[in-house]
Amino acid sequence: MKKELQHNILVLAVAAFAFRLIFILMFPGPNYFEGISASYLEVAENVLQGRGIVTYADIAPLSSPTSHWSYETFIDRPLGYLFLVLVPYAIVSSPFVIQLLHALLASLTVTALYRVGWLIVSEQAAWRAALLYSVWPLSARFEIAILPDAVMPFFLVLTLWLLIRGVNEPERPKWYLLSGIACGIGMTIRPDVLLLPIFFVAALLALRVAQKPLRASFLLLLGAVVILGAHTIRNYSATDGRIVPLGLGNGISMWEGISQFGDTLGTVYGDERTAALEGYRAWAYPDGIERDGRRFSEALEIIRQHPGWYAGVMAKRIPVLLTPDWIMTRKFAPSLKEFLDSSGEHSIAQYAATYPLSFIIRLLLVLLQYGALVLAVIAVAKDARNKLLWFPVLLIFYYIVIHIPTNTEARYFYPAIPLLLLLASHGWERLRAKRTVVME
């Protein structure tokens, strides 16, 4: 059994790495949300050149006739992704080496997913899910993008695997601590998982799967707090006591999100438009902490005054979050929204006729994702008594509910795809088992 497991893991890891290598050759370097990629690469260059963790920003107001470029302490994003890419980037100063690192992490994610599936459901479903994920086109394309989101599947699946090991090995509580540490590192890469340990603790206490749930919960939170605390101490020191636990952006995102479906209630959508409204070229510099805080307060006040309307906005965000966007085809064709917005006479049929390959790829991705969602629901319905199954369910649920209150994009859901495929594979297995019983 051990040799079979090792062989399966090797096959999955090689398949995942090779498949993503194909996508690296197709999409080399930053070509998806290039601004985020450029910001991290710039800071990495500054660190390697001895300037420290700084960014080069024009802090002059738009009203000024001249620019004022200055090296500012980098605070608008968490530091985890910077430190992750810094070592390979120091060896070879090329985005290509970062993409290779992403591909390697993806191959490790596939093997961890296989182990999670083995522990939660069955070896067959685990193998099917891991194999699907290794060659899932949307994941392969996304995970070679030079974005912090792109490496989050690794930390999510690792966190879950360590947590399940803690449940299955009660004599080794260290797994809970390690799970918290893995999640804490994920927080320093993408702060949208900040509340995930609390959700897991609630599940540990409610499901009673751990032998000592209070101890398990404490160790899980301790691991996350240790990492989060170290990051917070750095930001506290770097900002002269103006605490930025992970980074800026929550206030801006929530404020902009009010206008996600059209400018309304005095807000606008987009970082550049927000910066222009505030009178600066960059949304985070200068005085980003104070500006972000003000935007957050303004957003909360708008939501407080219009709760019913905002509930409708959140409902409209769910299909936006769950529907794959244009990541696979933007290099070759505009997105459907861009095409429709460019002329009032454009239609979906015209898009299909003008960009047939792009349209087919996008349609297939949408069908694959929604098919996986349906199968995942079937898995939960057919195996609701499997308490361990609720941990990946909870993680997917978390990724949905944590994003709909703010500015929502489809890429925010992509890190949860591995676990969605695990549930979908289990749902497929349960459907086949029922069909076999009926035929007999």
pLDDT digits (tens, 9 = 90+) for 352-385: 999 999 999 999 999 999 999 999 999 999 999 9
Pairing of strands 54-58, 69-73: antiparallel
Please report whether residue 206 resides in a domain.
no
Please report whether residue 41 resides in a domain.
no
The pLDDT, as a whole number, for residue 434 is 67
Distance set, CA 229 to CA 31, 192, 232, 233 (Å):
34, 16, 5, 6
The amino acid occupying position 165 is R
The pLDDT, as a whole number, for residue 272 is 83
> Domain range holding 420?
317-440
DSSP state of 280: B
Q: Distance between CA atoms of 374 and 391, rounded to whole angstroms?
A: 18
Which residue numbers in the chain have pLDDT < 50?
Answer: none
The pLDDT, as a whole number, for residue 436 is 59
Please report whether residue 437 resides in a domain.
yes
- Rounded to 10 degrees, the C-alpha dihedral 394/400/404/410 comes to 160
DSSP state of 416: G
Please report whether residue 267 resides in a domain.
no
* Own/partner long-range contacts of 300-306 (Cβ < 8 Å, ≥24 apart): 300/254, 302/258, 302/265, 302/266, 302/267, 303/258, 306/265
Please report whether residue 266 resides in a domain.
no
Please report whether residue 408 resides in a domain.
yes
Residue entry with tokens 């070759």: 332
Please report whether residue 190 resides in a domain.
no
Residue entry with tokens 């995970």: 143
The amino acid occupying position 286 is P
- Structural domains in the chain (count): 1
Please report whether residue 420 resides in a domain.
yes
